[in-house]
A = this chain, B = another copy of it.
Amino acid sequence: MFWRGKQETESSVVRLLAAQLRRDIAFGILAPDTRLKIDDLRTRYGGSAHSFREALTLLAGEGLVESQAQRGFRVASATGADLEDIQRMRARIEALGLEWSLAHADATWEAGLVAARHALSRAVEAVRGDAAGEALFWDEAAAGFHAMLVSNCRSPRLIAFQERLALESRRFRLAALIEGRVDHDAEEAMRGRVLDAVLARDVGAATAHLSQLFQPAAGAGEDRPQKPAITGGPS
């Protein structure tokens, strides 16, 4: 195929297809509970049937798609209960990872954290002007910040769990961004408190403020609909 030989993007076809599917699921282009028929996917993305099966089993392991034996693959459903579960787990896992990271804190980690926070602040400014256009940039910056928080914890499995939860929450975060349900001011303030507490080596305050980041719309008087499931995207 035409992109053969380019290994700078993704090293294998399977991973490339998985990355494309991941992105389209995150943006809601492939809405939750959509059946993923491999023939349709092939006409849309290219690639062979087996490569798609492998990519889909990969994503099934990540929780982004669900596979029922003999009944193919579906985009994982995204209910309000799922969002609550993800947020609750992220609060605990990232708080624990931050605690452990602080136990081994050094200058390079602090520097990386400050840099990630700065990049995220810039991304927030960008996304305020052009939500749809800068969504991917903003999302990756946020993911980088949270990854950096736990990157110094010296637990590969905690880092893996954090990555997985962040990946699962992407859909919800991006949907909330597009629908204007993200309170950038509150989040930025909370991230500032987290960073200040980290630099002050205040473990309790840092983990507490980080957990607050995952509270649904804390401080705002808006209540959530019962099922903030992701609205079906385009296509």
Question: Chain B interface: which of A151-159, A201-209, A222-230?
Answer: A151-159
Q: How far is the CB of A102 from chain B (nearest CB, A)?
A: 16
A60 CA to B158 CA, complexed, in Å: 17
**A23 on interface, CB distance cutoff 8 Å:** no
Among A14, A61, A157, the most chain B Cβ lie within 10 Å of the Cβ of A157
Q: Is A35 an interface residue, CB under 8 A from the partner?
A: no
Q: With the chains together, A85 CA to B157 CA distance in Å? A: 7
Given A57-B58, A58-B57, A62-B61, check contact A85 B155 (CB 8 Å): yes
Contact, CB under 8 Å: A11 / B50: no
Q: How many copies does the complex hold?
A: 2
Question: Does A165 sit within 8 A of B, measured CB to CB?
Answer: yes
Contact with B along A27-62 (1 / 0, CB 8 A): 000000000000000000000001001100110111
In contact, B62 and A155 (Cβ under 8 angstroms): no
Most buried by B among A62, A70, A86, A88: A88
28 CB contacts below 8 A, A to B, read A11-B69, A11-B70, A12-B69, A15-B69, A50-B50, A50-B53, A53-B54, A54-B54, A54-B57, A57-B57, A57-B58, A57-B61, A58-B61, A60-B61, A61-B61, A61-B62, A63-B157, A63-B160, A85-B155, A86-B157, A88-B155, A89-B155, A89-B158, A89-B161, A92-B96, A157-B165, A157-B168, A161-B161
Interface residues of A (CB under 8 A from B): 11-12, 14-15, 50, 53-54, 57-58, 60-63, 69-70, 85-86, 88-89, 92, 96, 155-158, 160-161, 165, 168
